[in-house]
Amino acid sequence: MEILIAVLSVLAALIIFMIVRAALTKPAAKNETEAVSYGLDKNKIALHLSEAIQIPTVSMADASYPDKPFFDYREYIKNTYPLFFKAAELTVINEYSLVYRIGGADKNLLPACFLAHIDVVPAPAEGWDVPPFSGAVKDGFVYGRGAQDMKCQMIAALESIEYALAKGLPFKRSIYCCFGHDEELSTRDGAPEIVKYFKEKGVEMEYVLDEGGTMLDGKMLGIDGSVALVGTCEKGYMDVRLSCKKDGGHASTPKKPTALASVAKAVYKLEKRQLSPVFTQPTKELFKELAPYMTPIVKFVMVNRDILSPILKIALANLHPISAALVKTTFAPTMAKGSNAANVLPPYAEAVINCRLIAGNSPELVLEHIKKIAGKNIDVEVINEAIPASDISPINTASYAEISKAIRSTFKGVKVAPYMFIAATDSRFYYPVCKNVYRFTPFMMTPDDQKRIHAINERCGIDALESATEFFIRVLENTCL
């Protein structure tokens, strides 16, 4: 009885500690500045995005894709942003990628670096309400391939620099604008070669800012209002082929298990037996930053995440695809191949698994896990080159603080937090020249608009484009002017 009382006493003390801990967790004071109006002409900015979309810079997967649009786009930047082009020194990398540099007055300051990619994914016209490369402007939106991914961000950044130059604002810090040409092809000849050029020149950056973070409705996190997530790292990438060879023949007399059945079984087992969920550093920082704004119950859980970790990890891994992606390596079966006829047993079958690797899960570890689960009768091989999870950028830097400040000044009431970006960007290549690599897409988008990325009727709101331009102006004011 005394042992039971002692156990209950310890448990009661722990619960009281957890309650008090949650109650004492308050939002940290932020150094805010009053937002000013820049008098931007949002319709002119929308026109510039429209014109950019009309240049079909589709990723050149092979020689059959024309490269003329990439040269046309270079001329477009020159003609549309004359002050920028006049002030900047242009270096062309591998014929198509562009590096612009504007020198700053203070040579002791490391440069700022703004990334974007020129290329877009293909856009067959079927299903679109407007031609995909028309750049149609209607109902408050600019339509077309690249409207979101990511000519909108490139245009907003260029507009902000042109604005600063038009106002005669001197640059204290040098800036680079690096526009790769093959990001949609997993990047081979663009960003890696740009970084190689920087290393040869001995150039290091104060910070790098690319696409990647997002703004979302805080309700899914138990928060009133919007949340802006800044990517401080990104998951790794690996495509794995599972294959099996068996005797083929007529489907009327199947010998079990068939090649296709064996592969299907391996895929099923992999979906059921995945790697254990983990809390990475960015995920812990995400919870810590947002916990003070959460509803009491969610706040209690997140503040005490260290104590509740075993249960919380499992819950997040099964709650929602987004929460699952934040705490574990994901395995997505995306392609399969068997026989070419309905009544023929395939002598060979395969499936492709797209793996997104969380920090701490190396390609070698993930591959070994897949081999173990798939079994000895399944051949497992990596397609192309596996990309490990990126390094993690710190958040206790002036760069992160000033970018966060620019977000809060532009989007009133938004809560800012770091997180692990679950896809891939060109920014992952820049760690050799910069430790402060951040990812943020400064556009308020509805869930409907988010579904349009790489899909039909891709579009960008004109008001959102204006706000994004204001964000980049504030980043320049906070860090470069």
Catalytic residues: 119, 183
CA 63 to chain centre: 28
- Among residues 233, 231, 258, 255, the alpha carbon closest in space to that of 244 is found at 258
d(C-alpha 398, C-alpha 415), whole Å: 18
With a CB cutoff of 8 Å and minimum separation 6, the contacts of 288 are none
Strands 415-421 and 226-234: parallel
Alpha-carbon distance of 358 to 371, in angstroms, equals 18
What is the DSSP secondary structure assignment for residue 58, as one 8-state letter?
B
**Distances from the Cα of 120 to the Cαs of 46, 69, 70, 116, 127, in angstroms?**
18, 11, 11, 11, 18
- Cβ-based neighbours of 400, under 8 Å, separated by 6 or more: 207, 230, 232, 393, 394, 418, 436, 438
H or E element in which residue 237 lies: strand 236-245
Name the CA dihedral angle for 67, 69, 70, 76, rounded to a multiple of 10 degrees: 160
Ramachandran bin of 474, using left for φ above 0, alpha for ψ from -120 to 50, beta for the remaining angles = alpha
104 near 164, Cβ under 8 Å?
no
Q: What are the start-end ranges of the E strands in 80-189? A: 89-93, 97-102, 112-117, 137-138, 141-143, 175-180
User: What are the residue ranges of helices labelled H in 308-454?
Assistant: 309-319, 321-327, 363-374, 398-410, 447-450
Residue 346 is given by DSSP the state -
φ/ψ of residue 93, rounded to 5: -110, 125
Residue 425 and residue 212: Cα distance in Å, rounded? 7
Query: Is 379:230 a contact under the CB 8 Å cutoff?
Result: no
* Phi, then psi, of 338 in degrees rounded to 5: -140, -125
